[in-house]
A and B are shown apart, each in its own frame.
Chain A
Amino acid sequence: MPDVLMPRLSDTMTEGVLSRWVKQPGDTVHRGDVLAEIETDKATMELEAYDEGVLERTLVVAGTTVPIGVPIATIGDGSNVDTSAPPATRTPTTAATEPGSTPASDAAPTHLASGSVRTSPLARAIAREHGMDIASVIGTGPGGRIVRADVEAAVASMDGVPAPVPAREPSPSSPGARGEPADPAVSARPADERIPLTAIRRVTARRLTASAAVPHFYLTSVVDAERLLAFRGEVNNRLASDGTKISVTDLLVRACAITLRAHPQANSSWADDAILRHRHIHIGVAVALEDGLIVPVVRDADRKSVGEIATELLGLAGRARAGQLTPDEFTGGTFTISNLGMFGIDHFTALINPPEAAILAVGAATHEPVVREDRVVAGTTIKLTLSVDHRVLDGATAAAFLHDLRLILEEPLHIVV
């Protein structure tokens, strides 16, 4: 009777959320049938059956976070069909449910239907001490068991990211309470709302925490955007008939790509014991999601026209917001652009998307006095800030890149020829 295991669906995936069962216990399955939908760190994907037979049991309820390699269902000849584990009937009273950590609502429980989260008692005790929901920790012990090292790593990363630290429950009984269940009476007080992490929130947090370990420096340059915006307007007028519309971001992707071609040092990654100089220029563009951030990638952006880039980015951003990107659409970037101009931000610094060497933060085009031919006139500027991994690039090299990027943006014909 083969077990269906949580598959590894992307190279950064360590766990997946079983978001929906498509087949139910008792259903006949054929090789290639979709059994379930799995939310990985970046996308929702379909899990196909590798075996013929009958789905006999589902081992986890929908909404459960499951480490890769852990059984989630069994397929057999149909003689052991067990429909007694319907979603959310067996879980609320399981022993390992942490009082105070389970939301009072009937939100999907985040543990294994067959008997709660697999965790060592010590890991559970440490999580309790830190007011951490054990279900949010990724287990790396045998069979995905959460061990002390996992909780300590999770606690450390929690402390490292300032914003999303869940407020610790005000728990006067926490010291020495190890080994005893938390007092449910504590929750009688109006407690802060605990928002369980979605897979994407967790990955965003982990990636940005990793970014904090990168020694950054920042270079800012002010671009006279008058001609860039005029150029965009002209192009859009001409292309209006066939429905294509290009944005400042599309122009920036192309401008960065050709500038990177002239500055290959900036198109590099940190590889711990080496610097990887990439032969391809794949530009990532940060896209805000409702509950996180994703960076779809325009591959070989230096070989694509602005129109192609515009069409491709439109599709990527749409699929990103729908959670439908495939892994090769959001991995493999060599440089990233983050544009908050449309939100009216004048200037900001972005966190590097490791292991890339640099990220460009783009502010809004603003009307400002500029000096032209020794006269102060009204103009439009955009502030660009390059965040650089100092292990890969030094100040002068990065400055040369940013300087050339500014020149191209100020002479926008260079973007297309």
Chain B
Amino acid sequence: MAVISYRQALHDTLRAELLREESVILIGEEIGVFEGSYKITAGLLAEFGPARVRDTPICEEGFVGAAIGAAMLGMRPVVEIMTINFSLIAIDQIVNHAAKMRAMFGGQVSVPMVIRTPGGGGQQLAASHSQNLEVWYAHVPGLKVVAPSTPADAKALLTAAIRDDDPVLVLENLALYNTKGEVPDGEQVGEIGRAAVVKPGHDLTVVSYSRATVVALEVARQLEAEGISLEVVDLRSLRPLDRDTICASVRKTSRAVMLEDDWLTYGIGAEIAATIQEGAFDYLDAPVRRVAAAEVPLPYAKPLELAALPDARTLVKVIGEVLDATRFAR
């Protein structure tokens, strides 16, 4: 088992799938000659040639549409959209075509396409380039949305996404690309729709996904020293959503806090809170709380950007409030 970066895990997975299956192709802006804005596709054009690693014009609607057509005709295209912010130009292709083909053609076709795209703020890229819009896609039946938080999950979930016969959006995160972790060798196919208890505990459940899971685990380690045992549930898949794992955890701990990088209102956490009250109502000792981004276009100025993003300190504070509200004995 090697310790590699999230970026490397994605790269290695793309290469392995290109080697394994002739129908897998890569398509997107700057992924070939420039080797990718975040260097995920470094070396792949040289190795596999322009027929399988395709640079495109700056036209998300066009190349996503082309990928949908290719997928309908038997290819397994893996589209890179430079950031999730730019997916808005292609949203009609994604929501109205990729997500609906199978149902509207009575099952005669499927769209085995992957869209890889990073979200997230904190890089001083300003309001229009720092968003977490995954909930827009997680809302849509016909799409699958996965959000790996570790290099190992990046490998397993990207592999599963490429082999899935339906369109899958793989949410990456700018802040995760350089994070490292152990990645099992050999073929690893993750299960889309399965959350993971990445840190077992018994006092309070923190639900999170993508970068927020890293923060949640850091807080769990910090609070462990204070005698507070957090259980961290990493969603991994936003659609389908693994409600059973979430509710099983809350039934055990009786307290839940959601940590999410998107905005609070109508965010992923709203769905999690609803899931918990439906599936674990009689086990709750306090209302479910959410820690999310401030409801502003993310500022460019660094101090303001930091102030607007959810962080470990806020999570610790809210966890403390929930514990106090339930007279947790420290």
Residues of A that sit less than 8 Å from B by CB: 120-125, 140-142, 145, 147-150, 178-179
Q: Show 20 residue pairs from A and B whose CB-CB distance is below 8 angstroms, ordered by the A residue.
A: A120-B284, A120-B286, A121-B281, A121-B282, A121-B283, A122-B282, A122-B283, A122-B284, A124-B282, A141-B286, A141-B327, A145-B325, A147-B286, A147-B326, A147-B327, A148-B285, A148-B326, A149-B326, A179-B281, A179-B282
Is B249's beta carbon under 8 Å from chain A?
A: no
Is B254's beta carbon under 8 Å from chain A?
A: yes
CA distance A125 to B284 in the complex (A): 10
B282 touches A178 (CB 8 A): yes
Q: Decide: A123 near B285, CB < 8 A? Known: A141-B326, A148-B326.
A: yes
Give the residues in chain B near A178, CB-CB below 8 Å: 282
* Extra pairs beyond A147-B325, A147-B326, A149-B328 (10, CB < 8 Å): A120-B284, A120-B285, A121-B283, A121-B285, A122-B285, A124-B282, A125-B282, A125-B283, A141-B327, A148-B285
Give the residues in chain A near B284, CB-CB below 8 Å: 120-122
Measured between C-beta atoms, what is the minimum distance from B145 to chain A in Å?
30
Measured between C-beta atoms, what is the minimum distance from A226 to chain B in Å?
57
Give the residues in chain B near A142, CB-CB below 8 Å: 325
The number of chain B residues touching the other chain, given as a range, is 10 to 19
Q: Decide: A149 near B286, CB < 8 A? Known: A121-B281, A122-B254, A179-B281.
A: no
Complex A-B, nearest 8 residue pairs according to Cβ-Cβ distance, in ascending order: A149-B327, A179-B282, A125-B282, A122-B285, A120-B285, A148-B285, A147-B326, A121-B282
CA distance A149 to B281 in the complex (A): 17
Give the residues in chain A near B283, CB-CB below 8 Å: 121-122, 125
| A interface footprint on B291-328 (CB within 8 Å = 1, 0 otherwise) | 00000000000000000000000000000000001111
Give the residues in chain A near B254, CB-CB below 8 Å: 122, 148
Residues of B that sit less than 8 Å from A by CB: 254, 281-286, 325-329
Q: How many A-B residue pairs have CB under 8 A?
A: 41
Residue among A122, A125, A145 with max Cβ neighbours from chain B (10 Å) = A122
Give the residues in chain B near A179, CB-CB below 8 Å: 281-282
- Among residues of A, the one whose C-beta sits closest to the C-beta of B327 is A149
CA distance A40 to B285 in the complex (A): 28
Measured between C-beta atoms, what is the minimum distance from A370 to chain B in Å?
56
Measured between C-beta atoms, what is the minimum distance from A122 to chain B in Å?
4
Measured between C-beta atoms, what is the minimum distance from B10 to chain A in Å?
42
**Interface SS of B by simple majority:** loop
Give the residues in chain A near B327, CB-CB below 8 Å: 140-141, 147, 149-150
Measured between C-beta atoms, what is the minimum distance from B69 to chain A in Å?
49
Measured between C-beta atoms, what is the minimum distance from A143 to chain B in Å?
10
- Among residues of B, the one whose C-beta sits closest to the C-beta of A178 is B282
CA distance A223 to B126 in the complex (A): 91
- Among residues of A, the one whose C-beta sits closest to the C-beta of B326 is A147
Give the residues in chain A near B285, CB-CB below 8 Å: 120-123, 147-148
Give the residues in chain B near A125, CB-CB below 8 Å: 282-283
CA distance A123 to B286 in the complex (A): 10
Give the residues in chain A near B286, CB-CB below 8 Å: 120, 141, 147
Measured between C-beta atoms, what is the minimum distance from B57 to chain A in Å?
55
Measured between C-beta atoms, what is the minimum distance from A282 to chain B in Å?
34
Measured between C-beta atoms, what is the minimum distance from B227 to chain A in Å?
16
Measured between C-beta atoms, what is the minimum distance from A68 to chain B in Å?
16
Give the residues in chain A near B282, CB-CB below 8 Å: 121-122, 124-125, 178-179
Give the residues in chain B near A148, CB-CB below 8 Å: 254, 285, 326
- Among residues of B, the one whose C-beta sits closest to the C-beta of A149 is B327
Give the residues in chain A near B329, CB-CB below 8 Å: 149
Give the residues in chain B near A120, CB-CB below 8 Å: 284-286, 326
Measured between C-beta atoms, what is the minimum distance from A144 to chain B in Å?
12
Measured between C-beta atoms, what is the minimum distance from A188 to chain B in Å?
25
- Among residues of B, the one whose C-beta sits closest to the C-beta of A148 is B285
CA distance A122 to B254 in the complex (A): 7
CA distance A250 to B193 in the complex (A): 79
Give the residues in chain B near A123, CB-CB below 8 Å: 285
CA distance A141 to B255 in the complex (A): 14
Measured between C-beta atoms, what is the minimum distance from B280 to chain A in Å?
9
- Among residues of A, the one whose C-beta sits closest to the C-beta of B321 is A142
Measured between C-beta atoms, what is the minimum distance from B100 to chain A in Å?
38
CA distance A42 to B212 in the complex (A): 52
CA distance A125 to B325 in the complex (A): 18
- Among residues of B, the one whose C-beta sits closest to the C-beta of A122 is B285
Measured between C-beta atoms, what is the minimum distance from A164 to chain B in Å?
25
Measured between C-beta atoms, what is the minimum distance from A360 to chain B in Å?
37
- Among residues of B, the one whose C-beta sits closest to the C-beta of A152 is B327
CA distance A125 to B281 in the complex (A): 10
Give the residues in chain B near A150, CB-CB below 8 Å: 327
CA distance A148 to B329 in the complex (A): 12
- Among residues of B, the one whose C-beta sits closest to the C-beta of A143 is B325
Give the residues in chain B near A149, CB-CB below 8 Å: 326-329
CA distance A178 to B283 in the complex (A): 9
CA distance A125 to B283 in the complex (A): 7
Give the residues in chain B near A124, CB-CB below 8 Å: 282
CA distance A179 to B286 in the complex (A): 16
Measured between C-beta atoms, what is the minimum distance from B276 to chain A in Å?
11
Measured between C-beta atoms, what is the minimum distance from B231 to chain A in Å?
16
Residue among B285, B326, B328 with max Cβ neighbours from chain A (10 Å) = B285
CA distance A351 to B328 in the complex (A): 32
- Among residues of A, the one whose C-beta sits closest to the C-beta of B254 is A122
Measured between C-beta atoms, what is the minimum distance from A379 to chain B in Å?
57
Measured between C-beta atoms, what is the minimum distance from B248 to chain A in Å?
14
CA distance A56 to B286 in the complex (A): 31
- Among residues of B, the one whose C-beta sits closest to the C-beta of A150 is B327
Measured between C-beta atoms, what is the minimum distance from B96 to chain A in Å?
41
CA distance A141 to B329 in the complex (A): 13
Measured between C-beta atoms, what is the minimum distance from B317 to chain A in Å?
15
Give the residues in chain A near B281, CB-CB below 8 Å: 121, 179
Residue among B254, B282, B286, B328 with max Cβ neighbours from chain A (10 Å) = B282
- Among residues of B, the one whose C-beta sits closest to the C-beta of A128 is B282
- Among residues of B, the one whose C-beta sits closest to the C-beta of A180 is B282
- Among residues of B, the one whose C-beta sits closest to the C-beta of A146 is B285
Give the residues in chain B near A122, CB-CB below 8 Å: 254, 282-285
Measured between C-beta atoms, what is the minimum distance from B268 to chain A in Å?
23
Measured between C-beta atoms, what is the minimum distance from A299 to chain B in Å?
36
- Among residues of B, the one whose C-beta sits closest to the C-beta of A124 is B282
Measured between C-beta atoms, what is the minimum distance from B328 to chain A in Å?
8
Give the residues in chain A near B326, CB-CB below 8 Å: 120, 141, 147-149
- Among residues of B, the one whose C-beta sits closest to the C-beta of A123 is B285
Measured between C-beta atoms, what is the minimum distance from A97 to chain B in Å?
16
- Among residues of A, the one whose C-beta sits closest to the C-beta of B287 is A120
CA distance A179 to B250 in the complex (A): 14
